[in-house]
């Protein structure tokens, strides 16, 4: 997804209403965040965290409030979404511990390696498989050896007979959460055009090709699958070129 595409999909109207929709879907978000915290519970008290596709900052703020010495770099290509993230960081008193980068990983200035990276419902917007593998490789290159990645994406075997039934349940979830009918219809159109829903094993393979250990799935809520993994000792770029 290019910069202009990100701002088309996550424009100012989307950014202004995004948190309201997320509040209605709080049980899904809170389950993911609760288990993410468990995956990171043994990390050091001082930790550097890279939030890729930070959006409006939900996971950043939650982790920052629970770990007062952690610092964060938020990478977000949509300017309207990043504005909301910055404002919320200011409101929660964590702005001084954050660096905000409007763009993608390839334009993020070089830094010391990060201890943790989060990528929640981000890579699904990268339609090309090779580009998606490169996305995970770029995350791996930013992490220290053994650094952790928490990744979540929409995932399913779209050729399976169960997919249509699961998808219909997903739309019912959206309606139950009071997502307006026109919003559900926009989501349906986006799923067919802007979202790459891949089988879970394929998403895992793409993470491994980026230089990570075989990921462990720790959560599924409807179409959302979440994994945690670690960067291996092998150089991600070399590993990617060998696959």
Which neighbouring-strand residues pair with 225? Answer: 153, 220
What is the C-alpha radius of gyration for the chain, rounded to an integer number of angstroms? Answer: 17
Q: Residues 39-53: what's their mean pLDDT? A: 96
Among residues of the chain, what percentage have pLDDT more than 90?
70
Domains defined along the chain, listed by start: 3-232 (3.40.50.150)
Number of helices (H), then strands (E), belonging to the chain: the values are 10, 7
Phi, psi of 149 (to 5 degrees): -120, 130
pLDDT digits (tens, 9 = 90+) for 120-154: 999 999 999 999 999 999 999 999 999 999 999 99
Start-to-end CA span in the chain (Å) = 23
Instruction: With cut-offs at 50, 70 and 90, classify the pLDDT of residue 19.
Output: low
Which neighbouring-strand residues pair with 221? Answer: 224
Q: Are 82 and 76 in contact (CB under 8 A)?
A: yes
pLDDT digits (tens, 9 = 90+) for 180-215: 788 788 888 887 788 999 999 999 999 999 999 999
């Amino acid at each position: 997804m290019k910069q202009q595409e990100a701002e088309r999909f996550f424009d100012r109207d989307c950014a202004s209403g995004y948190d309201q929709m997320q509040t209605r879907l709080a049980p899904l978000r809170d389950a993911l965040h609760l288990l993410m915290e468990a995956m990171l519970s043994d990390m050091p008290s001082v930790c550097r965290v890279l939030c890729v596709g930070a959006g409006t900052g939900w996971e950043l703020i939650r982790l920052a409030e629970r770990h007062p010495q952690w610092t964060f770099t938020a990478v977000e290509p949509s300017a309207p979404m990043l504005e909301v993230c910055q404002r919320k960081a200011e409101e929660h008193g964590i702005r001084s511990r954050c660096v905000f980068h409007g763009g993608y990983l390839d334009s993020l200035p070089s830094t010391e390696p990060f201890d943790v990276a989060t990528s929640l419902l981000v890579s699904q917007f990268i339609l090309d498989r090779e580009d998606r593998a490169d996305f995970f490789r770029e995350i791996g290159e930013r992490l220290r050896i053994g650094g952790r990645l928490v990744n979540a994406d929409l995932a399913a075997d779209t050729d399976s007979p169960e997919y249509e039934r699961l998808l219909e349940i997903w739309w019912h979830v959206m309606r139950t959460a009071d997502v307006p009918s026109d919003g559900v219809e926009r989501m349906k159109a986006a799923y067919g055009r802007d979202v790459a829903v891949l089988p879970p094993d394929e998403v895992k393979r793409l993470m491994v090709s980026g230089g990570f250990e075989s990921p462990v799935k720790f959560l599924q809520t409807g179409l959302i699958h979440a994994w945690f993994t670690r960067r291996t000792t092998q150089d991600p770029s070399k590993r990617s070129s060998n696959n």
